[in-house]
Chain A
Amino acid sequence: MYVKRMKRSNQRVAVVGAGMTKFVRRAQETSKELSWEAAHLALASCDLTLDDIDAVVIGTAPDAFDGVHMKSEYLSDSCGGWGKPVIRGYVGGGTGVFAAIQGWYHVASGLFDTVLVVCEEKMSSCQPHPQAAFLTIFDHTTERPLKPNLLWIFALEMNAYMHRYGLSKRDIATVSVKNKRNAALHPAALLGDPDITVEDVLDSPVLAWPVQRLDVSPVTDGAVALVISASHVARRVTDKPVWIEGVGWNLDTAYWTNRDLSYPVYVEEAARMAYDMAGITEPRKEIHIAEPYDPFDYKELHHLEGLMLFDKGEAPKAAADGVTQRDGDLPVCPSGGLLGVGNPIAAAGLMKVGEIFWQLRGEAGARQVPGNPRRGLAQAWGDLMQVGTVIVMGV
């Protein structure tokens, strides 16, 4: 239950720069090289150098992917942290959006003027398949002996969602089609496909019913970085700062087996926190563009409902009606999302924040949504179907 009433934010904290590597299946670069490239691009995008950076925030998901213990220490140099305050926050798959939230509170605390936020993930190092790393996320006493696979538990959640609202696979497959088509216009995307159809998704191999191969985002390597500044710096650095208006995060119980999986209540609570802070009372009117977390196609719909942008069970209909298309009333995942651009866990979440930044500045190129959006939202999700992280940004 959401109890904390956030104050309307009077902190003027802005994203002023962003950069990302190409998202690929198997990067030749090391984790250090990927994070350096993203950090370098973000700094170059706003004509700053490391001398302008007061602190570094690092986001990266399980150390088990790279097999590097204390991974933020390993990455600290390449993320620009030499001689600077470096901190890594961690909320599983929610980390990417949370890293931006953490950048916000670094600056809003008054301790730092400009912070570099870098998220990196190199999943391909984990052989033979990174799914193996997820075998170690389960409770060591009650669950791990059953050797559950991550796809299985999401299949349970997808089933619960479909069953609750009487949804068909076809209702959900439209999300995958939309996002992979959107990604065809993203220069850094791994799985963009302008010609994909609902039939392609429905005909793809079954992984764990009802999850099929094209319902799922791919294993990906990549890195994304943002530069976040206090207002006095932001106005000096750029004509187009994108203000962080609200942030929210929320964690549910680890005992996911005891929960109603058909509705992500923790996402709603995170959203309420962020909306309060942004002074948003009618999110459906006040949010112009959304990047909800879409590692699976049903998750985009699930999260749109948790974010209160659609009524419970109504998101699939809106998707079918084209509301969430790039030129629809509420463009959703115009980047192509995780399904299209790729899913290097923490980097994918920060990519969504970057997409809102580019869209609100009108710099999204071929994938720019029409109508000059003034306010957008990015959201990520993770742990054992348990955490929601939300950021609201505006110009």
Chain B
Amino acid sequence: MSTVRLLVGTRKGAFILTSDGKRKQWTVDGPHFGGWELYHLKGSPVDPDRIYASQTSSWFGQVIQRSDDGGKSWNPPGTKPEDLMGADGMPKGESNMFLYDASEKTGKPLTTHQHYDGSQRPWEFKRVWHLEPSLTDPDTAYAGVEDAAIFKSTDGGKTWHELAGLRSAKGQLWQPGAGGMCLHTILLNTGQPDRMFVAISAAGAFRSDDAGQTWRPANKGLQSKYELPDPDADVGHCVHCIAMHPSRPNVLFMQKHWDVQRSDDGGDSWHEISGNLPSDFGFPIAVHAHEPNTVYVVPIKSDSEHYPPEGKLRVYRSKVGGNEWEALTKGLPQQDCYVNVLRDAVAVDQLDPCGIYFGTTGGQVYGSADGGNNWTPIVRDLPAVLSVEAQIL
């Protein structure tokens, strides 16, 4: 029988939750890296025991960790004893070095972006928000960082190189949202290996068709009436999350600051699908593993009221690709619930029926083994959950 493994990043460490395919009994392992913020952990699709983790701290900055045994042991890549010294005799330890590429050969001049006060600021690395391992090579992974940029590693996370062309996509107009100017979403697809999507708060969605060398904004159709002076500007939209089903890479679903959106042409244009949601504000969005038209969101009340409307924790599911949404409530608290679900904190598994999981800022991780019809708390009292990823072994 299959094993399901959930990789849970929290404000104070990482936890690994494991169950068999029935998804009823779970073991909880952790905290790993106790006391550190674990923004995101994700396993390689081609080698699930290889897991990349972003470990950060206001005191000590960024650390990248990697496990090659499914989370039993961890090392910052490149710092095992056999890796300690380079051929030139110099010590390594560059797995946490994210230098914006300003080299003449491959980089772009380190230009500036907008700051809150309207001034221009140079890019300054703060942390890794999202790690996206390659779909085909366990040594290759992408990192979405704050200040917004995308980095690539081809040596298992030992070194990272910026794909600097992204900053050319009107980067001077990007500006941080209240959560920072972060690149939080990276979408890859095996059928179109050169196509990539990223999303940035608060800059918008961007698409590359040459494996990340060049990028263009993919925000046409988005409306941000109360966030931007020009509501349909090319860039500046606060995109919170984008999801895609691998069988339909041209269909994208987006949870924006306000509005749930859909694109049917690979991000060339977007249209709103918020429909009957009680609020169209939220952070995560996810697609069912086997039903490309089944989409999940977790509405919260507003941009300042980051909790569910009416104190009822409800996942909303559309089985028709948007506009018509049903509340999924069985097993979820339906009174006095004021937690939030962050953008990377929803995941689906590949079993049939599809499992879906989410973590809350109150430290609960809920799971459903039937596509969202029924929910149970897997664990109730973790630190605030930042991210959830699901693996099938």
Asked if A and B bind, the verdict is no
User: Could you tell me which A residues sit within 8 Å of B by CB distance?
Assistant: none
| Chain B residues near A (Cβ < 8 Å) | none
